[in-house]
């Protein structure tokens, strides 16, 4: 299916999904939502559902979010551009999915704050709003776990006591972690989640990166993996983004409702990811996996490479002025 055909089909599906609305529903504003993953698929996907539920509760009779689907509507990596083009109104998914549309649109992955963007109305949140608006989207917010919770970890089939131990190893990476692996001297391998189990079982890769709280054991990886390196990286979580024109057409009251819903989702996500991290870690250790703690010195080295490598990537796609502005906002 070509991109044009895919978008046309998505448009037909979205139009069909609104045809059954009642008169009362039609009197309020309806926002069509598409996500990177289906509701209930994973703890991260549930961020989108929580935001939808919050909007529909707070904005009852005034605004409602209608879930249209996920990858059954459009492939996840095609969704950000489709949102900009107005195929649907609201999107949720991994912040780094916007890398091709909004350079630096996932820079809150390095945020030092409990809420990655400091919440609606903050200086950092406003900065992200401007960054996305320049590309035709309206940033609503980034929801994640607390610092070090619900984030990326490296899991391996070889013991690790130092970042030096992953040098020359073949590790499956996510787009967010490939810069870290490259800087650490590991070989970054691109694989979809569905292929990680077989790759680990056959020894095609020696390990992989994954936000453990996001359903690690759902894939059965605990049965083919020996170690989880307990050294968290970045923020992970999900972004909520809207089509800019659709957002600008909303009343101030509805915009306030969206901000309130986002703030509630950001608060909820912290507890949600902690709960899931605890549950996943427990299941992993019961299956025989070992959680490896690095020494304080080695943990500091690991974190420095993780942070510096991602800043290095952002420095290659953003201006010096933009990098300075973000670092100043992170320091406030």
280, 216 contact by CB (below 8 A): yes
68 inside domain: yes
* Same domain (yes/no): 21, 170: no
- Encode pLDDT of 82-124 as tens digits: 999 999 999 999 999 999 999 999 999 999 999 999 999 999 9
* Residue 18 pLDDT > 60: no
* Same domain (yes/no): 108, 248: yes
* Mean pLDDT computed over every residue of the chain: 93
- Encode pLDDT of 227-264 as tens digits: 999 999 999 999 999 999 999 999 999 999 999 999 99
* Share of residues in the chain with pLDDT > 70 (%): 92
242, 89 contact by CB (below 8 A): yes
* Same domain (yes/no): 208, 243: no
* Same domain (yes/no): 58, 131: yes
* Same domain (yes/no): 92, 175: no
Overall average pLDDT of the 313-329 stretch: 97
* Residue 12 pLDDT > 60: no
Dist. CA 59–CA 25, nearest whole Å: 12
281 inside domain: no
Dist. CA 73–CA 282, nearest whole Å: 35
* Same domain (yes/no): 24, 134: yes
Closest CA to 232 of 331, 155, 297: 155
Q: Is the pTM of this model over 0.85?
A: yes
* Same domain (yes/no): 198, 100: no
* Same domain (yes/no): 217, 307: yes
Dist. CA 145–CA 77, nearest whole Å: 23
Report the domain count for the chain: 2
Dist. CA 177–CA 194, nearest whole Å: 18
* Same domain (yes/no): 230, 240: no
Closest CA to 87 of 69, 103, 102: 69
245 inside domain: yes
Closest CA to 151 of 111, 187, 192, 185: 111
* Same domain (yes/no): 116, 241: yes
Q: What is the pLDDT of residue 41?
A: 87
Q: Residue 170 belongs to what H/E stretch? A: strand 170-172
282 inside domain: no
Overall average pLDDT of the 158-187 stretch: 96
Total length of the chain: 332
Domain that holds residue 157: 152-235+287-331
Q: How far is CA 257 from CA 133, 140, 238, 260, in A?
A: 20, 11, 19, 5
* Same domain (yes/no): 242, 293: no
* Same domain (yes/no): 177, 241: no
Q: How many other β-carbons are positioned within 10 Å of the β-carbon of residue 194?
A: 8
CATH code of the domain covering residue 135: 3.40.190.170
Closest CA to 199 of 220, 182, 229: 220
Overall average pLDDT of the 122-146 stretch: 98
- Encode pLDDT of 209-237 as tens digits: 999 999 999 999 999 999 999 999 999 99
Dist. CA 257–CA 58, nearest whole Å: 7
**19-33, 55-69, 153-167, 302-316: which range is least confident on average?**
19-33
Q: What is the pLDDT of residue 6?
A: 55
């Amino acid at each position: 299916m070509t991109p044009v055909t895919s978008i046309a089909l998505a448009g037909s599906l979205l139009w069909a999904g609104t045809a059954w609305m009642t008169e009362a529903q039609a009197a309020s504003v309806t926002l069509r939502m598409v996500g990177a993953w289906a509701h209930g698929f994973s703890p991260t996907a549930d961020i989108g559902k929580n935001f939808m539920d919050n909007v529909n509760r707070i904005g009852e009779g005034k605004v409602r979010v209608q879930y249209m689907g996920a990858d059954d509507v459009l492939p996840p990596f095609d969704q950000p551009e489709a949102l900009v083009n107005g195929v649907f109104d609201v999107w949720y998914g991994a912040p780094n999915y916007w890398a091709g549309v909004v350079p630096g649109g996932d820079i809150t992955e390095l945020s030092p704050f409990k809420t990655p963007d400091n919440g609606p109305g903050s200086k950092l949140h406003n900065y992200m709003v401007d960054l996305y608006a320049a590309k035709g989207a309206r940033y609503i917010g980034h929801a994640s776990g607390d610092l070090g919770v619900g984030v990326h970890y490296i899991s391996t089939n070889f013991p690790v006591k130092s970042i030096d131990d992953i040098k020359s190893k073949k590790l499956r990476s996510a787009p967010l972690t490939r810069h870290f692996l490259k800087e650490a001297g590991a070989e970054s391998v691109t694989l979809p989640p569905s292929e990680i189990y077989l790759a680990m079982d056959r020894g095609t890769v020696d390990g992989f990166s994954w936000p453990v709280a996001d359903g690690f054991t759902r894939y059965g990886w605990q049965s083919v993996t020996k170690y989880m390196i307990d050294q968290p990286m970045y923020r992970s979580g999900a972004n909520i983004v809207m089509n800019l024109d659709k957002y600008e057409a909303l009343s101030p009251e509805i915009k306030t409702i969206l901000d309130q819903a986002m703030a509630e989702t950001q608060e909820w996500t912290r507890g949600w990811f902690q709960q899931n991290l605890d549950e996943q870690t427990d299941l992993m250790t019961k299956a025989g996996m070992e959680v490896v703690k690095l020494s304080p010195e080695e943990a500091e080295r690991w974190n420095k490479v993780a942070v510096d490598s991602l800043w290095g990537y952002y420095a290659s796609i953003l201006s010096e002025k933009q990098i300075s502005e973000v670092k100043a906002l992170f320091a406030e």
